[in-house]
Amino acid sequence: MFNAADRNAPFCLWPRRLYSAAMSIVLHGSFTSPFVRHCRVALAQSGLHWAFEPTSSADATAVTPAMRVPFLRADGRLFTDSSVILQYVRERQGRRFLADLEDAQLYHLANAALDSAVNLFLLSKNDRTPDNTPYLKRQRDRVVAAISALADAQRPDDGENDAALRIACFVDWARYRKLYEIEQPSLLSSLARLNQDDAFASTHPSRSDTAP
Ligand SMILES: N[C@@H](CCC(=O)N[C@@H](CS)C(=O)NCC(=O)O)C(=O)O
């Protein structure tokens, strides 16, 4: 657990009961999940007082009916999907989550691809692959088609734009897991720009060294 009141805050180890009482916003999730990463970035950008509690999807089972990470406890409420967590954070910032139709289209396309890619990744651990399960071929085709469409699309470069962030979280995770060849210059240059923001760079899936 660490205090993440601002993006540069050092990690500090508080006894759990003190920390739970002091924090009214606690994000639960893993260090590698791209959905969790997007929420961590938005919270770091928000200036809100919040904390991160490393939580596995297995641990989420007893807490959230979605049985996944991330989930967020905030103001006595439980939010069980990254999209609604982002909406909560942006509204607390006085901003709209996904300001227009173009942003919504890009965000949801990247999200559809990310959902498929994560499912493929998890199923591959049980030897379910596109080669032995026809529906998974369709899932893989969706990921590949979406990567191509996202590479061709005009994307906002604003580091707090949730369409740009969702695409970047997807691309960085897929590269980290070595799942897809993503070499399109438009996607890589956008990723490089977002990496200039410490909130994004410090949450790379390899950075579980930040775990307390
Ligand atoms: N739509 C969800 C997707 C979350 C998700 O797929 N999380 C993965 C980790 S990256 C998970 O917890 N999977 C466990 C499972 O599906 O049982 C969101 O945006 O929060």
pLDDT digits (tens, 9 = 90+) for 159-212: 899 999 999 999 999 999 999 989 999 999 999 999 999 999 999 999 875 443
**Ligand 1 center–CA 167 separation, angstroms:** 16
CA 210, 193, 85: angle at the middle one, nearest 5?
55
Q: Structure tokens of 167?
A: 């695409």
Is ligand 1 within 6 A of the CB of residue 38?
Answer: no
Q: List the Cα angle 65/208/164 in 5-degree steps.
A: 70
The pTM for the full model equals 0.89
Residue 43: which domain range? 2-96+200-210
Which residue bears the tokens 């775990």?
211
What CATH number is given to the structural domain containing 80? 3.40.30.10
Whether residue 127 has pLDDT greater than 70: yes
Output the residue whose Cα is nearest ligand 1's atom 12.
68
Residues 46, 108, single domain; the answer is no
Q: Ligand 1, atom 2: nearest CA belongs to which residue?
A: 81
Is the C-beta atom of 102 inside 6 A of ligand 1?
no
- 29-39 pLDDT, tens per residue? 999 999 999 99
Could you tell me the CA-to-CA distances from 176 to 34, 123, 181 in Å, in that order?
A: 11, 18, 11
Segments in 125-203 forming alpha helices (H):
134-152, 162-176, 185-194, 198-201
Is 67's C-beta closer than 6 angstroms to any atom of ligand 1? yes
Whose tokens are 């890589």? That residue is: 188
Question: Same domain for 6 and 90?
Answer: yes
Q: What CATH number is associated with residue 112?
A: 1.20.1050.10
> With a 6 A CB cut-off, is 57 part of the ligand 1 pocket?
yes
Q: Whose CA is nearest to atom 16 of ligand 1?
A: 68
User: Does the CB atom of residue 35 touch ligand 1 within 6 A?
Assistant: yes
Tell me, yes or no, whether 163 and 105 share the same domain: yes
**Same domain for 112 and 87:** no
Do 140 and 62 belong to one domain?
A: no
Indicate if ligand 1 lies below 6 Å from the C-beta of 68.
yes
Q: How far is the CA of 29 from the centre of ligand 1 (A)?
A: 10
Same domain, 106 and 176: yes
Lowest mean pLDDT of 25-29, 50-54, 136-140, 207-211, name the range: 207-211
Do 180 and 153 share a structural domain?
yes
Both 74 and 144 in a single domain? no
- The residue with tokens 């910032």 is 93
> Both 81 and 152 in a single domain?
no
What's the structural domain count of the chain? 2
